[in-house]
């Protein structure tokens, strides 16, 4: 089963952290706060964090899959 990623995306004047699979969306005033929260979520889930620019394209990704057990 493929792992679900965590995304940081533009949300109007704010930024949001969204996990694949539709398990909610948390918004933040700054990109930096969203990246911090997204990294924490991705680290806990052992998945990749994909940071999208305002245009929607992925501009950066961080891999937090190390140490994840395969199931």
Give 9-50 pLDDT, tens digit per residue. Answer: 999 999 999 998 766 799 999 999 999 999 999 999 999 999
Per-residue pLDDT, 60:
97
Strands 14-19 and 25-28: antiparallel
d(CA 8, CA 34): 6
pTM of the model: 0.85
**Is 70 inside a domain boundary?**
no
**Is 21 inside a domain boundary?**
yes
**Is 71 inside a domain boundary?**
no
Per-residue pLDDT, 24:
79
Per-residue pLDDT, 71:
33
Asked whether the CA dihedral 59, 18, 16, 33 is positive or negative, the reply is negative
d(CA 1, CA 53): 28
**Is 17 inside a domain boundary?**
yes
Full domain range(s) for residue 32: 6-63
Number of independent structural domains in the chain: 1
């Amino acid at each position: 089963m493929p792992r679900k990623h965590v995304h940081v995306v533009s949300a109007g004047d704010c930024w949001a952290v969204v996990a694949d699979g539709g398990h909610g969306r948390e918004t933040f005033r700054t990109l930096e706060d969203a990246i911090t929260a997204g990294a924490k979520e991705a680290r806990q889930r052992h998945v990749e964090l994909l940071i999208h620019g305002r245009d929607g394209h992925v501009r950066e990704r961080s891999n937090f899959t190390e140490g994840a057990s395969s199931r």
